[in-house]
Amino acid sequence: MSKKLFRFAAKAGSLEGYLYMRDKLDDLDNWVSNIVAMYREFSPAGQAEMKDELKVVLNRCLTYGEKTLKPSLRKKLLTLLKELD
């Protein structure tokens, strides 16, 4: 679980960093899809353990990418965010 958790956290955290103060984005479809898929692979207990921190990261991604994220990617991130409630 530790290796899987680290890979997931690295992807989610690096997306947050990538979106920070960015005016133009490369294609992020695979990146966002991988984050969503990786999260869903965790057990319910694993998801519950990380949900509070993941909410913070996803909200930052949405804020930082407010002007640059494609609507379809915003929707994927918002859907995952709603799953955390």
Q: What is the pLDDT of residues 7-64, one digit of tens each?
A: 888 989 998 888 887 777 777 888 899 899 999 999 999 999 999 999 999 999 999 9
Burial of 74 (0-12, 13-18, 19+ CB in 10 A): middle
Residue 1 has pLDDT above 80, yes or no: no
Q: Of 20, 11, 3, 10, which is closest to residue 62 (Cα–Cα)?
A: 20
Residue that has been written with the tokens 């990538």 in this structure: 18
Q: CA-to-CA distance for 53 and 36, rounded, in angstroms?
A: 15
Number of domains in the chain: 1
> What does the pLDDT read at residue 67?
85
pTM exceeding the 0.85 threshold for the entire prediction:
no
Domain of residue 74 covers 2-83
Instruction: Name the token pair of 76.
Output: 């994927």
Residue 32: which residues within 8 A CB-CB, separation 6 or more? 15, 73, 76, 77
Of residues 40 and 4, which shows the higher confidence score? 40
Of residues 65 and 24, which shows the higher confidence score? 65
